[in-house]
Amino acid sequence: MSDGHKVAIALSGGVDSAVAAALLQRQGLDLQGVHLRLSPLAAPPDRVEALAHYLGIPLTVLDLQAEFAREVLDYFVSEYVRGRTPNPCVRCNATIKFGYLWDYLKKSGVTHLATGHYARQNLDDHDVPGLFRGVDRRKDQSYFLSRLPLSLLPNLLFPLGQMTKEEVWRLSRQAGLPVRENQPESMELCFIPTGGYREFLQARRGIEASPGDFVDPRGRLLGRHRGVESYTVGQRRGLGIPAREPFYVIEIQPETNRVVLGHREELLSPGLTASGMNWLITPPAGEIEAAAVIRYRHPGVRARITPQGDGSVQVAFATPQSAVAPGQAVVFYDRDRVLGGGWIEARMK
């Protein structure tokens, strides 16, 4: 990277962003740290301050609690109330980390934003910037970055994209970075550390859940549920409906306050519709083929993607897929390159 570039590294206090910062510092870049305070539950930034001091870089703590509550927490609650399965990490990356944060940094003269995501920003065969999977497929986070604006890609740095998690930890030890080795991997929602999202929903809505009917696909009564926001498509546990063959949630109908249950084969769908497409390539004029990933850790399935002209697409799978959940992100790949993503609106039946 040439002189005159000013780089900000988003520091969380964990090993990934710490190693990303150390790698950038070794390149002799004009580097500064920025830490986002997003929730009252977040730990004080003591570890981040210690890391910045150790590296000898300035640190800014940016309070975006109000923006996070409005853009992520309210979205999270409203999606569940609508009978959908939200993806707050996809939403947060697009609106907070690469939205409000980037707007703030640009005003201070920053030219590039770096993070500890396991993803790659590379040039394609035509020297056009693109977003690609991280080399460590177990840790790849490109799915969560699918809603970044295409125009922002040249301004992003992902120093860990070519590394495995084991290599990151090894480099951290070699550099003596002040990070905790026994800290568990972050798997839960950052704003609900215990994972008790139902209690969070009730507390934030200020009202109790409304019980309703469990029905089968033909509308026959199977039992009572405790509120549509307590369930997600594909859920098997906690239904309390005895049967010789396990029941799964196959559809949530908030307008009638019903949850539709069926057996495993009834979860399968030949495709989906998605809205709000965000393309990280030149938007295709017609049908394309790609791998469709319908949730994080989904292996992907070959699919035909047909743009509808209003920012939505129809997606036809080569093989029927289980538990297509409205509200989740669907992301399209050409091998390792992210083509774009949208929000699942409905599954085809």
CATH code of the domain in which 339 resides: 2.40.30.10
Average of per-residue pLDDT values in the chain: 92
Residue 74 is predicted with a pLDDT of: 94
Catalogue the E-assigned strands of 193-336: 212-215, 221-225, 248-253, 258-262, 268-279, 288-293, 301-307, 313-322, 329-334
Cβ neighbours of 153 (radius 10 Å): 17
Active site residue 89: no
| Residues 137 and 230 placed together within one structural domain of the fold | no
Partner residues linked to 129 by β-bridges: 123
Instruction: Please state, for a pLDDT cut of 70, what percent of the chain lies above it.
Output: 95
Lowest mean pLDDT, pick from 130-134, 199-203, 232-236, 279-283: 199-203
Do you know the residue count of the chain?
A: 349
- Is 238 within a domain? yes
- Is 24 within a domain? yes
CA 122 to chain centroid: 20
pLDDT band at 2 (very low <50, low <70, confident <90, very high): low
| Residues 220 and 126 placed together within one structural domain of the fold | no
Q: 116: which 2 tokens?
A: 């500890």
Segment 81-136, tens digit of pLDDT: 899 999 999 999 999 999 999 999 999 999 999 999 999 999 887 888 999 999 99
Separation CA 227–CA 253 (nearest Å):
11
- 131, 115 Cβ separation under 8 angstroms: no
| Residues 239 and 282 placed together within one structural domain of the fold | no
Q: Which has more pLDDT, 30 or 118?
A: 118
Domain CATH for 239: 2.30.30.280
Find the DSSP H helices in the chain: 15-26, 46-55, 65-68, 74-81, 88-92, 101-107, 165-175, 197-205
Segment 153-177, tens digit of pLDDT: 999 999 999 999 999 999 999 999 9
Question: 214 — alpha (psi -120 to 50), left (phi > 0) or beta?
Answer: beta
| Residues 215 and 244 placed together within one structural domain of the fold | yes
Catalytic residue among 92, 119, 239, 261: 92
| Residues 46 and 152 placed together within one structural domain of the fold | yes
- Is 188 within a domain? no
* Domain count across the chain: 3
**Cα angle at 239 between 243 and 265, to 5 degrees?**
60
| Residues 164 and 238 placed together within one structural domain of the fold | no
| Residues 154 and 18 placed together within one structural domain of the fold | yes
pTM: 0.94
| Residues 278 and 257 placed together within one structural domain of the fold | no
| Mean pLDDT, residues 192-201 taken together | 75
- Is 192 within a domain? no
214 pLDDT higher than 60: yes
| Residues 69 and 161 placed together within one structural domain of the fold | yes
6 pLDDT higher than 90: yes
12 pLDDT higher than 80: yes
Segment 338-348, tens digit of pLDDT: 999 999 999 99
Catalytic residue among 61, 190, 301, 346: 190
| Helix 46-55 and helix 15-26, axial crossing angle in degrees, nearest 10 | 20
Residue 184 is predicted with a pLDDT of: 52
Segment 289-311, tens digit of pLDDT: 999 999 999 999 999 999 998 99
pLDDT band at 236 (very low <50, low <70, confident <90, very high): very high
Residue 207 is predicted with a pLDDT of: 62
Separation CA 295–CA 280 (nearest Å):
18
pLDDT band at 182 (very low <50, low <70, confident <90, very high): low
pLDDT band at 253 (very low <50, low <70, confident <90, very high): very high
- Is 101 within a domain? yes
| Residues 257 and 301 placed together within one structural domain of the fold | no
- Is 289 within a domain? yes
Q: Compute the half-sphere exposure of residue 182: CA atoms within 13 Å on the CB side of its CA.
A: 0
Active site residue 190: yes
Domain CATH for 112: 3.40.50.620
| Mean pLDDT, residues 227-248 taken together | 92
| Residues 156 and 26 placed together within one structural domain of the fold | yes
- 224, 204 Cβ separation under 8 angstroms: no
Boundaries of domain holding 116 = 6-175
- Is 330 within a domain? yes
Separation CA 118–CA 31 (nearest Å):
20
| Residues 62 and 166 placed together within one structural domain of the fold | yes
Segment 34-88, tens digit of pLDDT: 999 998 877 678 889 999 999 999 999 999 999 999 999 999 999 998 999 999 9
Separation CA 215–CA 169 (nearest Å):
49
